[in-house]
Amino acid sequence: MFRNFALADKANNLTTEIINNEADYVRMRLRQELASASYSNEASAQVLLEVDPQVLKAIEVMGESGKLAERNIALNRW
């Protein structure tokens, strides 16, 4: 597999620890490249957005924004 290949090439200075720590990133980038090659740049961007911490946080707080708006309206009623 790739792991064995990468570890065998001493010129790249990869260790098992480095490979393990970066495995999720590598999988995501491979998915991105496959989406780009198979479908489109838009599909490639979607793969990146699915794991983007800022996008995930924005989606999380969007649900809270409705509650905040309702509370603000209730507080400002005469």
Query: Does pLDDT of 78 surpass 60?
Result: no
| C-alpha to C-alpha distances, 70 to 59, 64, 66, 67, nearest whole angstrom | 18, 10, 6, 5
pTM higher than the cut 0.85: no
For 15, phi and psi rounded to 5 degrees? Answer: -120, 165
How many domains does the structure of the chain reveal? 1
How is residue 40 annotated by DSSP? Answer: -
Residue 42 and residue 67: Cα distance in Å, rounded? Answer: 32
4-14 pLDDT tens trace = 998 999 998 99
Task: Give residue 64's pLDDT.
Answer: 83
Residue 16 and residue 22: Cα distance in Å, rounded? Answer: 10
Q: Structural domain of residue 43, as residue ranges?
A: 2-75
14-46 pLDDT tens trace = 999 999 999 999 999 999 999 999 999 999 999
